[in-house]
Structure 1
Amino acid sequence: MIRLPQPADLTSLVLRTDFADDTAWHALQEQIGLLDRHPHATFVSDAAYAGISVQAIVDLDAAARDDDKLTYLFLADTITMTDDENPLLAVDTYDEPGRTFRLPVRWYADVSTNLSIGNVDFADLAGATDEAGTYRVLDRE
């Protein structure tokens, strides 16, 4: 059985689930890296997670030891890799396991930082999405 990887301290896990385009994956990593001078992501590209569903993520986290449980993670799925905004899929694994929202990559550093330090709850961010389920609050500021 596979286990979910652990992010480095004060970073968020970005788990690749789409393996159709290596160039798109590398471009996504570069975009996230350029957002801030501090690292915000632990990138995992392992074919064992190809096409993994949100429910499978939730199940893997539920089966993990307490010390290995995550509270959230970001998936780089087919939509992330093919949409112009590269919207990551944020997945709650703690309060409301399986709850999701889309996050355009340009806001990743802000959202990741706030989630990793517990400044904002996942539910607050998920509740601030547009009708398509995409977080755009920062677009309005």
Structure 2
Amino acid sequence: MISLPQPNDLTSLVLRTDFTDDTAWEAVKAALRTSEGEDSATFVSDPKYMGVSLHELVDADNAASYEDRLTYLFLADATTMTDVERPLLALDLADEPGRTFRVPPRWYADVSTNLTIANMDFAEFANTMDRSDTYRGFDRD
């Protein structure tokens, strides 16, 4: 069974699961960096996570000790690498394990920050998805 890496303090885990395009991965990382050049993500690019299923990630989190469990993470999967918008897949690991939604880099910081400090929960974002299962902010028309 795989184990999940821990994100750095006050960042979210962004786990790469697709290794077909290194240039796309670099573009994803660049898009998630703040304007000050700081990372709001702990980027993990390890081939042992290539093609890992959502079920495997949920199981890995459940197998972790209580203090090492995550409540959510973001995946840079095949869709992230091929879609021009580069949407990450957000994965709930706590309240509704396995629930997902997409989040383009434009809204990543809002989602990541609020989940990291437990200001909002996963469902609050997931419940506002559009028809493509993508979160695009609360103030969309």
Normalising by structure 1, what TM-score? Answer: 0.95
Match of 1:12 in 2: 12
Unmatched tracts of structure 1, length 5 or more: none
Runs of 5+ consecutive residues of structure 2 not aligned to the other structure: none
CA drift of 1:138 comes to: 4.6
Off by >3 Å, runs of 4+ in structure 1 = 34-38
Contact 2:107–2:137 (CA under 8 A) maintained in structure 1: no
Q: Deviations over 1:72-109 (max 9, x none)?
A: 00000000011011000000000000000000111111
In structure 1, distance between residues paired with 2:127 and 2:40: 23
Amino acid at match of 1:65: S
Root-mean-square deviation over aligned CA pairs:
1.4
Q: CA deviation at 1:139?
A: 6.0
Give the % identical residues.
Answer: 62
CA contact (8 A) 1:90 1:103 kept: yes
Q: Which residue of 2 aligns with 1:122?
A: 122
Structure 2: distance between partners of 1:139 and 1:36: 25
Answer whether contact 1:35 1:106 (CA < 8 A) is retained. Answer: no
Q: Distance in 2 between matches of 1:35 and 1:138?
A: 22
1:89 corresponds to 2:89 = yes
CA contact (8 A) 1:6 1:13 kept: yes
